[in-house]
């Protein structure tokens, strides 16, 4: 037995030593995600993950060192970095952390594990993995937040791991990219039946150059299919060069109107909700929300048990596409023909999918003060609204995905469910990026029952601002919303709230005022006397805002009363006017404390300081050989 054991150990030892010296190429199989980190496609990153680990493969056009980092904000300080290279046939990998814009020192705890690596005449390929949570304070936790991934390379291998002979400065070969590493995106599977596609495209729209934000609308007639079909995928089609301008899309299925205005094919459409937009297009907003897509989101593929219904004789045969064009540089001469491609099939899925919105009502009474590092705004869908539409449906709904949405000041977003008094997080992002708005597919479906409440929370950083930011549609304005993807589809489209105006203006010193309903709900101040001739915004700007004052304002609003409302599609029989709540308290549930994984584990044993994981394979071989010798001795003694 000892002979067999030692022979096995010798084979494992020899294999370990060989793989520590010379690695072979890794195959593509098994990787679920892939991104080109640089614009020229020289740094290709592949990865996959499970509940515990993430595995990367970096394929980089260089024969020198390769670096990958996880940054809190896109900069180098505070980043968790791994640098590797292949030299004389041996692959090396070092776990590092960055304290400044300088060569990152080697981490005492080597948590990145080298799996394989090789180079040819043009490329270096390294495969490595790591636990999602290492409990090393110098490592960043890899979770469902937006990650700023740093990338860099150099054409020379380092002579040593660190110091003067360590990795030299990368020069211009570096950058950062926001991505969702743990995005549970669905991959389109082969469909046994027939599928068709419908392109909804803008037609050579001249993006205005006199303002940074434009909402543009166009109505499309659905094909006459003769029976119900299911949309199973929606993919963006972006005009080359307009990737940063074509910011997000909302598609509405219009309520029934066979005489709706259809513009000629060559017509570009109209600015949304402007005097030029046909009046009957407003009826599309009373239909149902088909889908929401945001910049960086990629394809939206529905799970195999859901699809969005079209030609079902409920909402008519027309779609309105609303596109948000973002042009902060006020560039002129931008023409756009972007849109989406909808894939649909007559082979019906088990459930109809839908989308609804929860958040803060979008208007100027949503206030984010300046000089705030962590100002909190909240909106909610009251339980009365949810209950009414769920009872009309006759069953609970299941949330399968969420798209979190704010604008430039948003840094931490989350959405929560209160069920039977217990408050749980559905989705969150503590590192939000306005230019990466994915629909996050949930690991587990979340069931919403009558009596439940949904909450949407946004935390803003306005430390660099000197003036108040107000809610609005423009990119410089703010929003706080979540788009829920769910099934089975019910008739509620939107459910939002806002702190009562009375509490907002009284914090600024207003004693009494009147609402001018015929003037866009403007505020006319009647006391105190020195504020009578001031506008609402002048009063809010006059507050001596500071970080402490902003925090007091946030707490003041959270403890005030809220106006809440909901709206449904034209097919609903729910009396939404009766569900309006002019003075609702902010809903609160019992929050369960998340388990601290690191407090339950022992302190990780540090790896070799200043050493690469290429050495660890040799050390492992030594330990295995020692184990063989011990087994051999024990076997001799037993005989």
Q: Known catalytic residues?
A: 215, 405
The pair of three-digit structure tokens given for residue 54, joined into one six-digit string: 């993430």
Quote the CA–CA distance of 116 and 404 in Å, as a whole number.
37
- Strands in 407-491 per DSSP E: 410-419, 422-429, 440-448, 453-460, 469-470, 480-487
Task: Tell me the two tokens of residue 355.
Answer: 């989308």
Contact 310, 229 (CB under 8 A): yes
Give the residues across from 234 on adjacent strands: 300, 342
How far apart are alpha carbons 498 and 360 in whole angstroms?
5
Dmax (CA) for the chain in angstroms is 104
Query: Which helix (H) or strand (E) covers residue 506, if one does?
Result: helix 501-507
615: left (phi over 0), alpha (psi -120 to 50) or beta: alpha
127: nearest Cα among 49, 27, 239: 27
Which residue is it, tokens 């002048």? 538
Q: Which two tokens stand for residue 421?
A: 């008094």
User: How far, in Å, CA of 567 to CA of 501, rounded?
Assistant: 21
Please report, for residues 53, 543, 619, the alpha-carbon distance to residue 131 in angstroms, rounded to integers and kept in the order given. 4, 48, 21
Contact 508, 540 (CB under 8 A): yes
> For residue 37, which phi and psi values (nearest 5 degrees)?
-75, -30
**Nearest alpha-carbon partner for 207 in 83, 327, 72:** 327
| Cβ neighbours, 10 Å, residue 610 | 15
Chain mean position to CA 100: 28
Cα gap 39→129, rounded to integer Å: 25
Give burial (CB, 10 Å; 0-12/13-18/19+) of 318.
buried
User: CA 488 to CA 184: how far, in whole Å?
Assistant: 21
- The SS3 call for residue 380 is strand
């Amino acid at each position: 037995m000892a002979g067999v054991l030692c022979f096995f150990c010798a084979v494992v030892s020899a294999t370990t030593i060989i793989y520590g010296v010379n690695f072979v190429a890794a195959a593509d199989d098994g990787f679920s995600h892939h991104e080109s980190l640089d614009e020229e496609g020289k740094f290709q990153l592949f990865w996959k993950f499970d509940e515990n680990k993430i595995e990367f493969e970096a394929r980089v056009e260089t024969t020198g060192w390769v670096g990958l980092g996880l940054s809190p904000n896109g900069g180098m300080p505070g980043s968790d970095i791994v640098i590797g290279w292949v030299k004389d046939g041996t692959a090396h990998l070092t776990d590092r952390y960055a304290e400044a814009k300088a060569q990152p020192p080697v981490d005492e705890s080597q948590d990145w594990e080298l799996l394989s690596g090789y180079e040819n005449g043009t490329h270096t390929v390294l495969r490595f993995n790591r636990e999602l949570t290492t409990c090393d304070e110098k490592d960043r936790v890899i979770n469902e937040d937006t990650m700023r991934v740093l990338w860099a390379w150099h054409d020379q291998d380092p002579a040593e791991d660190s110091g003067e002979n360590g990795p030299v400065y990368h020069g211009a070969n570096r950058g950062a990219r926001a991505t969702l590493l743990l995005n549970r995106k669905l991959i389109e599977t082969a469909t046994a039946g027939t599928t068709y596609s419908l392109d909804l495209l803008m037609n050579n729209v001249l993006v205005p150059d006199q303002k940074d934000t434009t909402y543009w609308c166009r109505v499309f007639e659905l094909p006459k299919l003769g029976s119900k079909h299911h949309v199973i995928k929606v993919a963006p089609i972006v005009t080359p060069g307009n990737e940063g301008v074509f910011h997000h899309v909302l598609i509405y299925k219009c309520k029934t109107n066979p005489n709706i205005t259809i513009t000629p094919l060559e017509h570009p459409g109209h600015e949304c909700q402007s005097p030029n937009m046909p009046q009957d297009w407003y009826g599309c907003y009373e239909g149902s929300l088909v889908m929401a897509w945001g910049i960086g989101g990629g394809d939206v593929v529905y799970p195999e048990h859901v699809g969005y219904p079209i030609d079902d004789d409920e909402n008519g045969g027309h779609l309105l596409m609303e596109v948000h064009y973002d042009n902060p540089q006020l560039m002129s001469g931008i023409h756009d023909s972007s849109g989406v491609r909808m894939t649909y099939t007559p082979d019906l899925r088990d459930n109809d999918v839908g989308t609804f919105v929860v958040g803060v009502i979008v208007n100027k009474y949503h206030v984010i003060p300046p000089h705030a590092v962590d100002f909190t705004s909240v909106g909610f869908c009251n339980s009365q609204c949810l209950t009414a539409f769920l009872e009309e449906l006759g069953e609970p709904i299941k949330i399968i995905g969420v798209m979190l949405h704010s604008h430039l000041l948003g840094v931490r977003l989350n959405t929560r469910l209160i069920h039977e008094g217990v408050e749980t997080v559905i989705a969150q992002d503590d590192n939000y990026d306005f230019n990466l708005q994915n629909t996050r597919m949930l690991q587990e479906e979340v069931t919403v029952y009558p009596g439940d409440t949904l909450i949407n929370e946004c935390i803003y950083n306005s430390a660099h601002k000197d003036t108040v930011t107000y809610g609005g549609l423009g990119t410089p304005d703010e929003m706080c919303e979540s788009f829920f993807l769910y099934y089975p589809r019910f008739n509620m489209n939107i459910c939002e709230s806002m702190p009562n105006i009375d509490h907002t203006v009284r914090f600024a010193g207003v004693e009494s005022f009147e609402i001018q309903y015929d003037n866009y709900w403007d505020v006319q101040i009647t006391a105190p006397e020195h504020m009578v001739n001031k506008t609402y915004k002048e009063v809010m700007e006059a507050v001596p805002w500071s970080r402490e004052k902003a925090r007091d304002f946030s707490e003041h609003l959270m403890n005030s009363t809220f106006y809440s409302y909901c709206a449904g599609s034209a097919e609903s029989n729910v009396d939404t006017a009766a569900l309006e709540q002019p003075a609702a308290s902010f809903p609160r549930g019992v929050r369960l404390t998340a388990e601290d994984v690191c407090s339950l584990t022992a302190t990780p044993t540090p790896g070799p300081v200043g050493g690469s994981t290429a050495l660890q394979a040799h050390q492992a071989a030594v330990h295995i050989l020692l184990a063989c010798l011990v087994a051999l001795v024990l076997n001799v003694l037993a005989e």
